[in-house]
Amino acid sequence: MAEVPPASPVPADATVEQLLALLAERDRMIERLVERTTQLEAGLGRNWQNSSQPPSADTFVKPPPRSLRGRSGRKPGKSDG
Q: Is residue 36 part of a domain?
A: yes
Q: Assess if residue 21 is contained within a domain.
A: yes
Q: Percentage of the chain with pLDDT > 70?
A: 85
Question: If pLDDT is split at 50, 70 and 90, which confidence band does 6 have?
Answer: low
Q: Which amino acid is at 80?
A: D
**Domain-located, residue 46:** no
Say what the pTM is. 0.49
Range of the domain at 23: 15-41
- Domain assignment present for 22: yes
Residue 35 lies in a domain: yes
**pLDDT per residue as tens digits for the range 38-48:** 988 887 777 77
d(CA 73, CA 63): 22
Q: Is the residue at 50 inside a domain? A: no
Residues 6 or more apart in contact with residue 58 via CB below 8 angstroms = 47, 48
* 5 vs 38, residue with greater confidence: 38
Does residue 60 fall inside a structural domain?
Answer: no
Residue 25 maps to a domain: yes
Domain count, the chain: 1
Cα 67–Cα 62–Cα 76 angle in degrees, nearest 5? 50
Longest dimension (CA), the chain: 90
